Amino acid sequence: MANPHNWTELESTTTLATTALNSQADEALVACTQITVNDKLYGIVELVLASIDLSAQTNPAAYLWWLLESDGTNTEDGSASVTPAKPPDMIIPLRVVNGAQRVGMICAFPRLPPADFTPLIQNKSGAAWAASGNTLKLTRFSTETN
């Protein structure tokens, strides 16, 4: 019989960005707090947007990249002023409504040796985000073989 795989316990939640997301203009980019991916291959990403009117928008979203720092010094292209050339690692869909939104999505990190990543988020909602109360968080977990 094959060894079953179980989920590990969730790590403590890491806040990747808070005030940097406030009043973020449409198309604007925010580089977030760097994270280290070690034995945790999965995560729950949660984007919370305070009251925002997206009722007149079409397909509002947020784009998220995990920018790799593979050599301990250099991070792949992408910053608050540089949109990465690669497609986003995650697209977080937003509802076409007027009000607050909380979106949680499960992500899988690249299967690489332990490395540092800088999350980079872009507002693709068609409207500026609220002046306060916005957050981007990450809770990591993995599998284990029994």
Domains of the chain from N-terminus onward: 5-145 (2.60.120)
pLDDT in tens, 62-73: 999 989 887 777
Tokens of 38: 């070690």
Q: For 74-87, what is the mean pLDDT? A: 92
CA distance 32 to 36: 13
Q: For 108-126, what is the mean pLDDT? A: 82
Tokens of 118: 């800088």
pLDDT of residue 37: 74
Q: Residues 55, 115: contact at Cβ < 8 Å?
A: no
CA distance 98 to 77: 34
pLDDT of residue 72: 73
pLDDT of residue 99: 93
**109: pLDDT strictly greater than 80:** no
| Residue 66 β-bridge partners | 119
